[in-house]
Structure 1
Amino acid sequence: MPENEPILFGDSVHPTQAKKLTRGWIKHVKEQYIPTTRARMRVNIAGAINLATLQVMTRDYEKINSASLMDFLKHVESCYPKAPRIHIFLDQAPYHTSKETRKYVENSQIVIHYLPSYNPNLNPIERLWKIMHEYVSNNKFYLKGSDFTNAVKHFFEKTVHEIKDLLQTRVTDNFEHLNTQFSF
């Protein structure tokens, strides 16, 4: 690709306020109180990452659909106003492949490349979502939905810039090459 054509990996994520236990030690035969909430506060985020610069672009929406995706793509274009084309790799979610989305990109800088179905491991932004969960939702309790929402926003506005070294090692396009020759 020409240097003036950025390559991005994009997707949406929908973290919820619900308790998400991922690890912990509890002494055998001891009952442990784990605070939970009935709230199901959800944040809907469209995002993209440029692996060459580790620039992360996100926007939160009421819901993710074709209209919100097109708004996000406009935001991406505003981040690269001089780029003749912006290549973005997306999965095949309905709002990524909709007629509205395809029509929008026909007259934009955006070129969408679709990843194979059911292969989230091929999209490096999935690793960013995992890191976000580690910092924001895993083993964390938020009594108020606003506290949870603020924690998610803080991660993308501040924390993601402070952990560039971690992103550089964990959010990569280095894939393991598997030997595809089988013997029976």
Structure 2
Amino acid sequence: MAYAYAACIDVICDNARYYRSKAVQAYLEDSRIKLVFLPPYAPNLNRIERLWKLFKKTTLYNRYYESFGDFRNACEGFFDNSHLYRDQMRSL
């Protein structure tokens, strides 16, 4: 356990209110744990945002699906074959 000897332990957090509560702040006052907050809206730091962007681009935008089944198949096809989009994901 390398962290057992660390002088400070940084914990990356989103901006959920409970991280900023008085009880949590009081608990951490005498702790080695330091909360590091992400910016309020940082889609470039969140990989899932990149995936949704590519999904919308390849599957949703300017597409017409005759039936819900066709739409569902297109969505499932994207995720079943997501390995085909690795290079595009890296460039986003």
Pairwise TM-score range, normalised by the shorter structure: 0.5 to 0.7
Higher relative contact order (CA 8 A, sep 6+): 1
Give the drift of 1:169.
Answer: 2.4
Confirm or deny that 1:140 pairs with 2:69.
Answer: no
The percentage of counterpart residues that share the same residue type is 39
- Alignment deviations for residues 118-171 of structure 1 (CA, whole Å, 9 cap, x no partner): 33232132111111111100100012112111111110101x11122222222x
What is the aligned partner in structure 2 of residue 156 from structure 1? 79
Counterpart residue identity of residue 122, structure 1: L
Unaligned regions of 5+ residues in structure 2, if any?
3-11, 20-35
What is the aligned partner in structure 2 of residue 166 from structure 1? 88
Number of corresponding residues: 64
What is the aligned partner in structure 1 of residue 7 from structure 2? none
- Alignment deviations for residues 38-93 of structure 1 (CA, whole Å, 9 cap, x no partner): xxxxxxxxxxxxxxxxxxxxxxxxxxxxxxxxxxxxxxxxxxxxxxxxxxx88568
Where do residues 10-21 of structure 1 align in structure 2 (5 Å cutoff)?
none
Per the normalisation by structure 1, the TM-score is: 0.29
Per the normalisation by structure 2, the TM-score is: 0.52
Cα gap change, 1:165 to 1:150, in 2 (>3 Å): same
Unaligned regions of 5+ residues in structure 1, if any?
3-88, 98-112, 171-184
CA contact (8 A) 2:43 2:50 kept: no
- Bigger-Rg structure (1/2): 2
Separation (CA, whole Å) in 2 of partners of 1:142 and 1:90: 39
Secondary structure of 1:143's partner? Answer: coil
Cα gap change, 1:157 to 1:169, in 2 (>3 Å): same
Cα gap change, 1:120 to 1:145, in 2 (>3 Å): same
Counterpart residue identity of residue 137, structure 1: L
Over aligned residues, Cα RMSD in angstroms? Answer: 3.0
Counterpart residue identity of residue 77, structure 2: H
Higher strand share: 1
